[in-house]
Amino acid sequence: MNIKKYFSIVMGVVLAASVTSCVQKDDWETPPVKCTNKFPAVTMTMADFKAQAPSSGYILINTDQIFDGYVVSSDENGNFYKTISFQDKPENPTVGLQIEVDRANNYADFPVGAHIRINAKGLRLGLDRGVVKIGSVDNTYAIGRIPGPLLSRYMSGVCNGNGLDIATLKPLELANLKLAQDANYLNMLVKVPNVQFSASEMGKKYIDYVGGAGVDTDRSIVDVFGNTTNIRNSGFFTSGSALIPEGKGELTFVVSRYNSSWQMLIRSLNDVQFTGKRFFFEGFDGSLDDNWFAVSITGAQVWNIQQFGNPKPCVVMNGFSGGNNVNEDWLISKPISLQGFTSAALSFETDARYNGNPLEVFVTENYTGNPSTTNWVPLSAILDTNAAAFNTWTYSGDINLNTYVNKSISIAFKYTSTTSAAATWELDNVRVVGN
């Protein structure tokens, strides 16, 4: 229902009643406003409607096909632009869609949770930039934007008594970010626990500014399992100047993508509930010096990021170059705070190739800046033992760090090689997680 139009109707009734009361009686009542559904009952489920979409291109809907949905997006804060995302049920949805609309401020008529009814006759249904959408016939785009004045021809709110039916949405809860990157969840509202912004995003705002103007910005997020994706924020996001939160917690978002790139969308900062302590995670997606000190004691070879990994990339150390070489190289984390934790554990993955010394793992409470003068405590970990092949990634197990809770620590990986043997060691998905 158009809220502004509803308000105008009510005010008109009030004014008319007010004038009448001056000559007839001193009290009056506003007559009830009747809400009438624009479209008749549904003719199909939203899932059946979407199932007609071809694997590429689009089809034109030329018969009355009427179905219901519930709005999950909101352009009130600027992160959605001329598009409305909706799903088939307020909770435990099975399908999501989006409709392209050539107008702004759609939240005023169709707020989050609005029960909507769509008659798709005359619209196109198809795959556009990796997402199934509905929209108008357009000579330029596969799925065009429906002109604002014509939207009511295809879409309307569903009545609940005398007003718009607005449901309380329950986001679909997913265990991790990897699960969210599934086409089945596109345009659905989901929630993932134990998520934080990547370390490389700390100190930044939700969006970047160029010449004082906001620009569309991706911000990397990671879950406690090391899965990553991006939160996409519009240059018009009204909270774009807010600083990225440092903690971890629950993240609610509408699943979206552009072609093959996943770009999750939040409606407002209320979707970011990060009140817990950060965990440490390194998937080596940024610069090595973001979180590490790479210290070479002996040898020309050094730790470096390569496009291998589980998934790509990872950090690699190899003492072979034209032959086996003597090397001693340390990869030492910048301080990791365990303040406020009651338990903590380290884990990582390794992949070894060729014969050579095993990788060594250490922890310290006080890195001096010189590995030789630091008091290191060795840690026992499960390492890859298959030196005959690459891509045999091995999980270290959870290495207990409870001794170090409420302290600041550094984790170190020490590589050594000789003129007799120089193994290649690949390292990925280093995490320190606590409660």
Q: Rounded to the nearest 5°, which phi and psi values hold at 178?
A: -65, -40
Both 179 and 160 in one domain: the answer is no
In a domain, 69, yes or no: yes
In a domain, 283, yes or no: no
Both 24 and 50 in one domain: the answer is no
What would the DSSP string read from start to end of 370-392?
Answer: -GGGS--EE--------TTSS--
In a domain, 376, yes or no: yes
Both 415 and 330 in one domain: the answer is yes
In a domain, 302, yes or no: yes
Both 119 and 186 in one domain: the answer is no
What's the pLDDT score for residue 364?
98
Both 424 and 301 in one domain: the answer is yes
Contacts (Cβ under 8 Å, ≥6 apart) of 311: none
In a domain, 181, yes or no: yes
Residue that finishes a domain, picked among 164, 192, 216:
164
R_g of the chain computed on alpha carbons: 28
What is the per-residue pLDDT across 142-191, written as a single tens digit (0 to 9) for each?
999 999 999 999 999 999 888 999 999 999 999 999 999 999 999 999 99
Residue that finishes a domain, picked among 141, 164, 187:
164
- Length of the chain as a residue count: 435
In a domain, 303, yes or no: yes
In a domain, 236, yes or no: yes
The token duo for 144 is 């065009």
- CA–CA distance, 339 with 276 (Å, rounded to integer): 12
Both 108 and 212 in one domain: the answer is no
- CA–CA distance, 383 with 348 (Å, rounded to integer): 9
Both 249 and 292 in one domain: the answer is no
Both 307 and 385 in one domain: the answer is yes
The CATH number assigned to the domain holding 371 equals 2.60.120.200
Both 234 and 182 in one domain: the answer is yes
Both 42 and 158 in one domain: the answer is yes
Q: Residue 179: give the domain boundaries.
A: 172-278
Both 114 and 197 in one domain: the answer is no
* Positive or negative torsion for Cα 89, 91, 93, 98: positive
Both 45 and 155 in one domain: the answer is yes
Weakly modelled stretches of the chain, pLDDT under 50: 1-26
Residue that finishes a domain, picked among 164, 180, 200:
164
What is the per-residue pLDDT across 362-401, written as a single tens digit (0 to 9) for each?
999 999 999 999 999 999 999 999 999 999 999 999 999 9
If residue 253 lies in a helix (H) or strand (E), which one and from where to where? strand 248-254
What's the pLDDT score for residue 184?
97
- The number of folded domains in the chain is 4
In a domain, 381, yes or no: yes
Is-contact 128 143, C-beta < 8 A? yes
The CATH number assigned to the domain holding 259 equals 2.40.50
What's the pLDDT score for residue 30?
52
